[in-house]
Amino acid sequence: MPLPEYVTKAGPGIWNLRVRVQPRAKRDAVDGVHQGRLKIRLKAPAVDNKANKALIIFVSGLLGLRSRRIQLVSGQKSRSKSLQIESGSEPVWPGEA
């Protein structure tokens, strides 16, 4: 099965996930795909790194991985972010199952 447009394989057991984050939403949720990125709404505000931490926790829950397997690699102060995912097998990406 091909990867979704917001995921690229970076190496053995490593994937890059491109997301678009909307902080201060009513609830944490996946909200489709926006310009080739997975759109994620988060309750956390975009202050003191709270939204970035909430993003990692939310994505780890979505993928069924420990949060230490997910790293924010770009977009620390932007709504467009890239996450690096480490997993022994390919996760089930949101919107696929």
What pLDDT score was predicted for residue 96?
Answer: 60
Domain of 55, in residue numbers:
17-86
* Assigned domain for 40 exists: yes
* Assigned domain for 21 exists: yes
Which element (helix H / strand E) includes 19?
A: strand 14-22
The structural domain count of the chain equals 1
Strand partners, 86: 14
CATH number of residue 71's parent domain: 3.30.1200.10
Q: Tens-of-pLDDT digits for all 97 residues of the chain?
A: 799 999 999 999 999 999 999 999 999 999 999 999 999 999 999 999 999 999 999 999 999 999 999 999 999 999 999 999 999 999 999 876 4
What pLDDT score was predicted for residue 94?
Answer: 87
User: Alpha-carbon distance 28 to 10, whole Å?
Assistant: 27
* Assigned domain for 39 exists: yes
Cβ proximity of 68 and 86 under 8 Å: no
pTM, two decimals, is 0.94
Q: 9-34: b or e for each residue (b if 16 or more CB lie within 10 Å)?
A: eeeeeebbbbbbbebeeeebeeeebe
